[in-house]
Amino acid sequence: MRIAIISDIHANLEALKKALEIISQENIEKIFCLGDTIGYGANPNECLQLVRETTPHVLLGNHDEAAIDSSVMEDFNPYARASAEWTSIQITDEHRNYLRQLPYTTQLDNILFVHSSPYQPNEWRYIMTPADAQDNFSYFETSVCFIGHSHVPCIFSEDIWAKEVVKGKKSLVNVGSIGQPRDGDPRLSFGIFDTSLWMYRNVRAEYDVMKASEKIRKAGLPKPLADRILIGR
């Protein structure tokens, strides 16, 4: 089975449409969304609707939760908080109710999917370093755990020298961000995993980032949010 794993769309409709266009050409059988469909970007309702139409396998991210629980915003920086407050006002009641029923994790056979980390997934912890990953391997039983949250694509393995997903070794794979990359590369990022061949591929692609940036400006959201997607920071 070939699956696509998308994450951190962040209300960037241009990036989401481009990613789904690529996925439609990849003979994908299932799509998993790891959360943060909204926040930062200018099209929260449109992105939620498109994700809902695309896949039933959707997780809750911290920006999704902030839209339905303002206490989550307490840990946000000023720009993220401003965006979260704006998003909470914008989303429809239907989408608000949809977010309330999303899970923190889901599983497919020998694969775990979570937005932030397998350890206390509702606490929104970051896995940024090999040390962070080593601390988390004992908190999941599957061979692979796919994550998002940091917006930085990478692979961590129990075998610290491994640079790819290796059968027989636990792996933590960050698929990166569709709508808010932060690794210095403004191209959208997501993952494709072949469960039969046990092969993972990170996909990067350009999209109309100028249009997405201009929408953020026109929506009256903080200017740095419009600027950062242009440079992937």
**Tens of pLDDT along 195-232?**
999 999 999 999 999 999 999 999 999 999 999 999 99
pLDDT at 62: 97
pLDDT at 163: 79
pLDDT at 176: 97
Question: Under a CB-based contact definition with an 8 Å cutoff, are residues 47 and 9 in contact?
Answer: yes
DSSP per residue, 162-209: --S--TTS-EEEE---SS---SS--SEEEEEEETTTTEEEEEEE---H
Token pair recorded at residue 69: 């629980």
pLDDT at 75: 86
Domain boundaries, the chain: 2-231
Contacts of 30 (CB under 8 A, 6+ apart): 1, 3, 4, 55, 57, 108
Domain 2-231 has CATH 3.90.1150.10: no
- Residues 61-78 have pLDDT tens digits of 999 999 999 999 988 999
pTM flag (> 0.85): yes
* Average pLDDT taken over every residue of the chain: 96
pLDDT at 167: 87
Question: Under a CB-based contact definition with an 8 Å cutoff, are residues 193 and 34 in contact?
Answer: no
Closest C-alpha to 95, from 132, 47, 157, 136: 47
Distances (CA, A) of 85 to 40, 48, 69, 165: 10, 17, 10, 38
106, β-bridge pairs: 113
Low-confidence ranges of the chain (pLDDT < 50): none
